Structure 1
Amino acid sequence: MSPPRRWPLHPPPGPLEALSSWLGRLAELYEMPVHDLLRHNLGVVDPTLPTDLDVDPPMAMLMALAEKTGVDLARLRSMTLVGWVPWLFDTLPVHVQDAQPVFDSYVRDNSVLFAGKAGTHHVLRFRPEWAGPWLLPYPGALRACPDCVADPDRGISLMWRLALMTSCIEHDCRLLELSEVRAALVLGREVHREPLEEPRAALDRCTHQALTTGRVALPGRSVHAGVWFRLLRSLLDEVSLAASTQGTRGKAMLRQIWQATGHEERAGMNVWRPFEQLREDVREAMWDAAAAAFQLAADGLITARGRLGSALQPPPPYVYDGDEPSPFRNAWQDFMSAWEEALASARTDPATARQLLGLLTGGCHTLEGFEKERASLYEEGIPAEFLPGARELGRLDLM
Structure 2
Amino acid sequence: MRPPERWPLHPAPAETESLSSWLRRIAASYGMYSSELLEHGLGHRELSDPELDLNPPRDLLEELAKRTGLDQHRVNAMTMAGWVPWLFDCLDPAPGAYETYVHQLSVLLPPKRRTIYTPRKWLPWLSETGMRRGCPDCLESSPTLLLFWQLPLMASCQVHGRRVETYEGRPPDYILWATPAHDQRPLPEPLSLMDRRTWQAITTGSVDLPRYPVHAGTWFRLLRTLLDELTTAQGRYGRQLEDVRRVWEHCGHPFRAGLHSWQPFETLHWTAQQQLLEAAAAAMEMIEAGSVTALGTSAHLFRPEPNPRISDGTPPGTLTASAGAQERPTLDELLKQAADALDACIAAAKEDPVVAQHLFDFARYGCRSDQSLRGLRQTFAELQIPLDFLSQTENQSPFA
State whether structure 2 residue 158 is matched by structure 1 residue 169. yes
Amino acid paired to 2:305? P
SS at match of 1:86: coil
- Per the alignment, residue 101 of structure 1 pairs with 96
* Structure 2 CA distance for partners of 1:339 and 1:304, relative to 1, 3 Å: farther
Q: Name 1:78's counterpart in structure 2.
A: 77
> Residue type matched to 2:96 in 1?
P
Partners of 2:4 and 2:146 in 1: CA distance = 29
Distance verdict in 2 for CA 1:233–1:23, change over 3 Å: same
8 Å Cα contact 1:109-1:117 kept in structure 2: no
2:211 to 192, 198, 220: 220
In structure 2, what is the equivalent of residue 112 of structure 1?
107
Partner of 2:298 in structure 1?
308
Whole-Å separation in 1 of the counterparts to 2:236 and 2:334: 48
TM superposition shift of 1:303? 3.6
SS in 1 for 2:53: coil
| Structure 1 residue 345, shift from structure 2 partner | 2.1
The separation in 1 between residues aligned to 2:347 and 2:80, in whole angstroms, is: 29
Give 1:217 deviation, angstroms: 0.4
Give distance in 1, aligned partners of 2:31 and 2:331: 68
Match of 2:140 in 1: 150
Note the C-alpha offset of 1:261. Answer: 2.1
Distance (whole Å) between structure 2 residues aligned to residue 265 and residue 195 of structure 1: 21
Q: Which amino acid aligns with 2:294?
A: A
CA contact (8 A) 2:115 2:232 kept: no
Q: CA 1:305–1:333 in structure 2 vs 1: closer, same or farther (change >3 Å)? A: closer
Contact 1:236 1:290 in 2 (8 A): yes
Name the structure, 1 or 2, with higher relative contact order (CA <8 Å, separation 6+): 2
Q: Secondary structure at the match of 1:54?
A: helix
Partner of 2:391: none
CA distance in 2, matches of 1:21, 1:148: 14
**Which of 132, 144, 151 is the matching residue for 2:123?**
132
**Correspondence for 1:299 among 289, 302, 309:** 289
For the aligned residue pairs, the C-alpha RMSD in angstroms reads: 3.4
Tell me the CA shift for residue 116 of structure 1.
0.8
Q: How does 1:209-248 map to 2 (within 5 A)?
A: 209-248=200-239
Which residue of 1 is the match for residue 61 of structure 2? Answer: 62
Change (3 A) 1:254 1:76: same
Secondary structure at the counterpart of residue 54 of structure 2: coil
State the match for 2:375 in structure 1: none
When residues 344 and 150 of structure 1 are mapped into structure 2, their CA distance, relative to the original with a 3 A threshold, is farther
Measured in 1, the distance between the counterparts of 2:331 and 2:28 equals: 64
1:31 corresponds in structure 2 to 31
Equivalent pair of 1:145/1:168 in contact (CA under 8 Å): yes
Structure 2 counterpart of 1:196, one-letter code: L
Say if 1:201 and 1:350 are closer, same or farther in 2 by CA, change over 3 A.
farther
Distance 1:261 1:279 in 2: 18
**CA deviation after TM superposition for structure 1 residue 252, in Å:** 2.8
Percent of matched pairs sharing the same residue:
38
**Aligned residue in 1 for 2:383:** none
Q: Is the 8 A contact 1:219 1:311 kept in 2?
A: yes
Deviation of residue 191 (structure 1)?
Answer: 5.3
Aligned counterparts, 1:140-289, within 5 A:
140=131, 142-152=132-142, 155-179=144-168, 182=171, 196-248=187-239, 250-289=240-279
Give the total of aligned pairs: 337
Give the AA of the match of 1:300: G
* Secondary structure at 1:341 match in 2: helix
- Deviating more after overlay: 2-11 vs 293-302: 2-11
Contact in 2 for aligned 1:172/1:195 (Cα 8 Å): no
Change (3 A) 1:26 1:138: same
User: What's the offset of the Cα at 1:275?
Assistant: 1.0
1:16 deviation in Å? 0.2
Distance in 2 separating the partners of 1:341 and 1:258? 43
> Deviation at 1:242?
2.6
Once the two structures are overlaid, the 10-residue window that deviates more, 267-276 or 164-173, is 267-276
Give the partner amino acid of 2:162.
C
Does structure 2 retain, via aligned residues, the 8 Å contact 1:220–1:312? yes
| 1:14-62 residue CA offsets vs partner (Å, 9 max, x unmatched) | 00000000000000010111111122223x5xx2344321011111111
Q: Is the 8 A contact 2:97 2:122 kept in 1?
A: no
Shift, 1:331, TM fit: 3.4
TM-score norm. by structure 2 comes to 0.75
1:386 is aligned to none
Distance 1:279 1:178 in 2: 13
CA contact (8 A) 1:5 1:68 kept: yes
Once the two structures are TM-superposed, the CA of residue 262 in structure 1 deviates from its matched residue by 2.4
Which stretch of structure 1 is more off in the superposition, 270-279 or 24-33?
270-279
Q: What amino acid maps onto 1:175 in structure 2?
A: V
